[in-house]
C-alpha cells in the first residue's frame, strides 16, 4: 500500500507507436510500413512470425521503469486490441494490471485517435486525481508535446519514453526527463544498420552517415522520427534524409555548457550530481549509459580535456579543465 507521501505515478502508453517504432528499430527504417500488409494477412506465417518475435516489446521493462518513480496509480495502453500484432500482448498487459483502451481501426479522418484519446484521458486524470505527482508518456510522436507541456504547467513531473531513432527531439525537450526504451534494463539493443539516416522532409537532399541517432545522444536525435505517422502508405518513398549530429559530440558540448553556466558562483568546484541535473534540464534526453558509460563519473573521466574530476570519499566534484 502506498504511503500518503509516496510519489504517485500515472502511465500512458501509445502502444501502436511503441510496437511500430521498435519493429523499425530492429528491422530498419519504415520496415513496419513495408510489412504491414503481410502482418495483417498472415501474422502466423513463418517469416512474419519470426520478424514479429524478434521485435517483441518487453512491457514489463517499461512498467518496472515507471514504478521506479513511485507507486503506480493507473497504467493505460491505447491500441486496436483486435489487431493480431497487439492481441499477442493482452495477457502480458492484463497480468501487470494495465487498463487496455480499445481504439477501433482508424479511418482517414481519425488517424490521430490514439493521440487525442490519450491526451484527453491524461488531462482528465490530473484533475480527477489531484495527488498524481508523475506522468509517464510512452510514445515518440511530437503530437504529444502540448500534452507534456500542459502536464508540467499543472505541476506534474513528466517522464517521456520512446525508441531511439523514432522519437521527436521536441518531445524529449518538453519532458522533465526522457529515457530511451533501448536503455532499459534487460533490453538488448539491435545491431545498428550499416548507414543510419534521419528523415527531415522533402527537398532536403539525400546524404548518409554511419552515426546512430539515439535519444540518449541528446541533440543528435531525429527532430522528425521515422515512426511518427508509422504505417502511412508511400511515406518511405516520399522521405528524404540528411546527416544527424554525432551523439558523443552533442553530449560533449552539453557538458561544456553545464560547466560554464554552473561556474558562475563563488566556488569553481561543482558537485557532479548538480552538473548532471543541469545537463538533464537543458536536454532531458541526455543519458551517459546510452553513450556507453556505466556511470556519470566515467563519462566525466572520459572528458578530462574539458572536465576535471576530484573524488574524495562520497563527494565527487568537477570543474572546467584549465
Pairing of strands 270-271, 198-199: unpaired
- Per residue in 125-143, pLDDT (tens digit) is 999 999 999 999 999 889 9
Dihedral-angle region of residue 190 (phi above 0 means left; psi in -120 to 50 means alpha; beta otherwise): beta
32 part of a folded domain = yes
Q: How far apart are CA 80 and CA 43, in angstroms?
A: 15
Question: Considering 212, 245, 278, which residue would you say is the last residue of a domain?
Answer: 245
- DSSP H helices in the chain: 15-27, 31-41, 46-54, 59-67, 84-87, 90-95, 113-128, 145-153, 169-174, 235-238, 247-262, 272-282, 296-301
Q: Note whether 258 and 117 are same-domain residues.
A: no
The predicted-structure confidence for 65-81, as pLDDT tens digits, reads as follows 898 888 899 999 999 99
37 and 15 co-located in one domain = yes
Structurally, how many domains does the chain consist of? 2
- Are 121 and 105 in a shared domain? yes
CATH code of 175's domain: 3.40.50.1010
8-19 pLDDT, tens per residue?
999 999 999 999
Q: What is the pLDDT of residue 193?
A: 53
Domain range for 167 is 8-245
Q: Would you say residue 103 lies in a domain?
A: yes
Same domain, 239 and 254: no
Residue 3 lies in a domain: no
Q: Which of 187, 219, 245 is the last residue of a domain?
A: 245
Q: Average per-residue pLDDT in the chain? A: 79
Running DSSP on this structure, what letter comes out for residue 73? E
Spatial CB neighbours of 194, under 8 Å, sequence gap ≥ 6: 210
- Asked if 181 and 271 sit in the same domain, the reply is no
What 3-state class would DSSP assign to 79? strand
Cα–Cα distance between 306 and 302 in angstroms, integer? Answer: 9
Domain shared by 62 and 143, yes or no: yes
Phi, psi of 305 (to 5 degrees): -75, -20
In a domain, residue 104? The reply is: yes
Do 94 and 110 belong together in one domain?
Answer: yes
Amino acid at each position: 500500500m502506498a504511503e500518503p507521501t509516496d510519489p504517485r505515478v500515472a502511465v500512458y502508453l501509445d502502444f501502436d507507436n511503441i510496437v511500430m517504432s521498435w519493429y523499425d528499430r530492429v528491422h530498419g527504417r519504415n520496415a513496419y510500413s513495408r510489412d504491414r500488409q503481410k502482418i495483417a494477412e498472415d501474422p502466423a506465417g513463418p517469416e512474419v512470425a519470426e520478424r514479429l518475435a524478434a521485435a517483441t516489446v518487453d512491457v514489463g521493462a517499461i512498467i518496472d521503469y515507471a514504478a521506479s518513480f513511485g507507486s503506480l496509480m493507473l497504467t493505460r495502453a491505447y491500441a486496436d486490441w483486435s489487431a493480431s500484432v497487439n492481441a499477442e500482448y493482452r495477457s502480458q498487459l492484463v497480468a501487470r494490471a494495465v487498463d487496455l483502451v480499445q481504439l477501433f481501426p482508424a479511418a482517414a479522418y481519425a488517424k490521430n485517435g490514439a493521440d487525442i484519446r490519450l491526451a484527453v484521458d491524461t488531462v482528465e486524470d490530473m484533475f480527477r486525481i489531484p495527488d498524481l505527482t508523475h506522468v509517464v508518456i510512452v510514445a515518440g510522436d511530437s503530437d504529444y508535446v502540448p500534452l507534456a507541456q500542459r502536464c508540467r504547467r499543472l505541476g506534474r513531473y513528466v517522464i517521456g519514453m520512446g525508441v531511439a531513432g523514432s522519437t521527436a527531439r521536441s518531445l524529449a525537450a518538453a519532458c522533465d526527463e526522457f529515457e530511451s526504451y533501448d536503455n532499459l534494463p534487460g533490453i538488448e539493443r539491435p545491431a545498428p544498420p550499416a548507414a543510419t539516416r534521419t528523415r527531415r522532409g522533402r527537398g532536403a537532399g539525400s546524404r548518409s552517415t554511419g552515426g546512430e541517432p539515439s535519444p540518449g545522444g541528446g541533440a543528435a536525435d531525429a527532430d522528425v522520427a521515422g515512426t511518427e505517422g508509422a504505417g502511412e502508405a508511400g511515406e518511405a518513398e516520399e522521405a528524404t534524409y540528411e546527416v544527424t549530429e554525432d551523439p558523443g559530440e552533442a553530449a560533449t558540448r552539453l557538458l561544456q555548457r553545464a560547466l560554464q553556466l554552473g561556474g558562475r558562483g563563488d566556488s569553481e568546484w561543482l558537485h557532479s550530481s548538480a552538473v548532471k541535473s543541469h545537463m538533464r534540464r537543458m536536454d532531458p534526453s541526455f543519458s551517459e549509459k546510452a553513450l556507453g558509460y556505466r556511470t556519470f563519473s566515467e563519462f566525466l573521466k572520459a572528458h578530462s580535456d574539458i572536465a576535471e574530476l576530484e573524488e574524495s570519499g562520497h563527494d565527487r566534484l568537477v570543474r572546467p579543465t584549465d
